[in-house]
Amino acid sequence: MKNVKAPLSYLDPDFVQSKEGRPLRILSEYLDPERKLKLNNIEHTVVFFGSARTKPDSSDPLSFAYNAAEDLAYNLAKWSSTIEDPSRKIYICTGGGPGAMEAANKGAARAGEKTIGLNIALPFEQEPNPYISPELNMEFHYFYMRKLWFLYHSKAIIVFPGGFGTMDELFETLTLIQTKKIDKPHLPVLLYNKKFWESLINFDIMKDNGLISPEDLNLFRYFDTTDEAMKILIPEITELVDNYSAKNFF
């Protein structure tokens, strides 16, 4: 009796999904996004973090955050569209889901620019929003690989009100900057709506108890309007792009 050929290992779902196949799964979430970004000539991003639960309608007390995210993403994308050198263009990148992420992708798409969504497989909430450019719609299993691609090309981080996931992204970013694991001097980290953030987190308590250094409070800034953010972001993003060297960024 003739044996049936066994599947090639890399085509065998039992192996790929096994414990032994985990290094391949991790590596694929590094190499495939890298390939897609290179194919689209993307080297510079502005990353928007924020709640998947924020809605644009008045039933949501944080609807103003959705509208602010869309407006800022639109203005950044319109500014990027005036950059003639394609290697210097800036792309809006989000976690790809609904809420503030959808708003930012929507703003960039409304400006006529490509926009990136780095989705994550979750049991609830996380479905790709319709405004992501199809060729830049990516799905991750591992949070840490997704976070790598959030930060690898980032020239600014914009954080809108959010829950546990947003807090995780914000504090990991601040930790990597504080410990110089990201070698991007003066990477802008902007928190939208000073009143919200100061009511949520008392950073001064950390400083006053010696848990962070006084200068660590300079790792982020607040903003309340698009104009305020654009005045900060345009010169600082431009400086980071001018000094861009991929080998120095992680």
CATH number at residue 95: 3.40.50.450
The domain tally of the chain equals: 1
Cα gap 226→192, rounded to integer Å: 9
Summarize the confidence of residues 111-116 as an average pLDDT. 98
- The answer to whether residue 72 is domain-embedded is yes
- The answer to whether residue 22 is domain-embedded is no
CA 211 to chain centre: 27
- Which residues are registered as beta bridge partners of 116? 93
Cα gap 101→92, rounded to integer Å: 10
| Domain containing residue 236 | 46-248
- The answer to whether residue 32 is domain-embedded is no
Give pLDDT tens digits for 9-50: 888 899 999 999 999 999 999 999 999 999 999 999 999 999
* Three-point CA angle 95, 103, 217, nearest 5°: 65
This prediction has a pTM of 0.93
- The answer to whether residue 21 is domain-embedded is no
Integer angstrom CA distances of residue 87 from 137, 153, 241 = 21, 12, 9
Closest CA to 108 of 121, 89, 87, 127: 89
Give pLDDT tens digits for 66-86: 999 999 999 999 999 999 999
Local structure of residue 21 (DSSP, 8 states): T
pLDDT at 186 over 90: no
